[in-house]
Structure 1
């Protein structure tokens, strides 16, 4: 197992289940890219611990019984790069709707910390669960 693939496993295991532990995995200058999030009115990138934690706190408060499953983590020839595919589900508290999602996540590490994440997900599934319009699409 490489440094990055180990961190990616830990990210999946602790993000919800032990967020305090998860916070020890991330670098203070973490860059988290969410290319499809702007279609939901969320930022496309989170820069630094404070921005990341503001978004993570919102997410963890918005979703109940969130869990990841069917994770497949792929090590790269670069020990500081890993990729994962996984699914997740939870209940959106404000709507009472179940959120089911598939993710692809790219991770880059440096000095044993996560310094970069790029997360791909289906914004349509998120919009349905959040009962929010997808920006830029006419009704």
Structure 2
């Protein structure tokens, strides 16, 4: 359901960001992040990942580390617009590998945009799947 131009634009931006995330993405991908972006990973602490990451530089480092560590790519992307036109919910699959160890994950993510840039990113994932791959990588 398209509620207004802002909501539709944010849904398009969310799709583009998810579809282009991965090892071959352009450095300009990070231009989509607001300087004050916040990443929340509520299940992260159970496997040694920070629950909250603040600021564009820190978010860039985290995203790049994930790509460098296991070449994460997203598929099966579904975007759900919300009553708040600045927010969308995204479901997707992530895949990659660390050497001979495959990684396949399902995600649910809440995204909030401000003036055409990602301001807030809260991601839910199966921490057992992530813990299994983390045994073979170093996210630093």
After TM superposition, is the score higher than 0.5? Answer: yes
Structure 1 residue aligned with 2:65, among 47, 58, 61? 58
List runs of 5+ in structure 2 lacking aligned partners.
3-7
C-alpha RMSD of the superposition: 1.5
Cα distance between partner residues in 2 of 1:21 and 1:83: 23
Partner secondary structure for residue 24 of structure 1: helix
Structure 2 residue aligned with 1:131, among 108, 111, 135? 135
Aligned residue pairs, count: 129
Query: Which residue is 2:56 aligned to?
Result: 49
Query: Which residue is 1:84 aligned to?
Result: 90
- When the two structures are superposed, what TM-score results if normalisation uses the length of structure 2? 0.85
Query: Which residue is 1:137 aligned to?
Result: none
- When the two structures are superposed, what TM-score results if normalisation uses the length of structure 1? 0.85
Cα distance between partner residues in 1 of 2:63 and 2:79: 22
Structure 2 residue aligned with 1:33, among 17, 36, 40? 40
Partner secondary structure for residue 45 of structure 2: helix
Partner secondary structure for residue 55 of structure 1: helix
CA shift for structure 1 position 7: 1.9
CA shift for structure 1 position 54: 1.7
